[in-house]
Chains A and B, each alone.
Chain A
Amino acid sequence: RKEVEQDPGPFNVPEGATVAFNCTYSNSASQSFFWYRQDCRKEPKLLMSVYSSGNEDGRFTAQLNRASQYISLLIRDSKLSDSATYLCVVLLHTGRRALTFGSGTRLQVQP
């Protein structure tokens, strides 16, 4: 079983749609959680951290459910520029900074 699992997609949605991605992690000792965005053939970049109480950044909302060991990302009012792969990332060991990356969920927003 993978440590961090994501539905690979692709999710094809029209502009303006709301789309949600889920991610599950296997290690209950995981400490911190993040969403990264990766454009085609480019490097990953931090999108947002995920806090226990849930957090929002503009059209993006991230939530964490520790009991069920899953993380979600909600994108409202999708834009063409949101088309990318979204990577779920879990931090296991602070000292080593062992970030474990999911394989990513691909989003394609269509006009």
Chain B
Amino acid sequence: EAQVTQNPRYLITVTGKKLTVTCSQNMNHEYMSWYRQDPGLGLRQIYYSMNVEVTDKGDVPEGYKVSRKEKRNFPLILESPSPNQTSLYFCASSQFGDTGELFFGEGSRLTVL
């Protein structure tokens, strides 16, 4: 089954404790991206990757890091989480083209105390 898998789905952590949210896709997609979703603000892009070893900042990259060592994986790293990073995070992937169809993971709900 074609899918984007994120882990963990739910996490409560404390300020400053490094964490990684993993994302893996099995569709051989070149493009992957991370979004955060907050009430009233919609989905905002954090980082994206056009291919292996190619990553770039989205609209809200502060406080986050990513890596793309393999085509299928695109982990999101919070080196020192803060309460304003409490949010719902989505990983997404797509093949290139203008179809606009992003395939999303099920989301990771992160709470930073």
Show the binding face of A for B, using Cβ within 8 Å.
4, 8, 31-34, 41-46, 49, 87, 89, 91, 94-99, 101-104
The answer to whether B101 and A46 touch across the interface, beta carbons within 8 angstroms, is yes
Q: Report the separation of the CA atoms of residues A78 and B50 in the bound assembly, to the nearest whole angstrom.
A: 39
Given known A8-B40, A103-B40, A104-B42, contact A43–B98 (CB-CB < 8 A): no
Show the binding face of B for A, using Cβ within 8 Å.
31, 33, 35, 40-45, 48, 50, 56, 58, 90, 94, 96, 98-102, 104-107
A-B contact pairs, 20 of them (CB 8 A): A4-B42, A8-B40, A31-B98, A43-B105, A43-B106, A43-B107, A44-B104, A45-B104, A46-B102, A91-B100, A96-B50, A97-B31, A97-B33, A97-B94, A97-B96, A98-B58, A99-B102, A101-B44, A103-B41, A104-B42
The answer to whether B104 and A89 touch across the interface, beta carbons within 8 angstroms, is no
Contacts of A104 in B (CB 8 A): 42
Q: Report the separation of the CA atoms of residues A44 and B104 in the bound assembly, to the nearest whole angstrom.
A: 7
The answer to whether A96 and B41 touch across the interface, beta carbons within 8 angstroms, is no
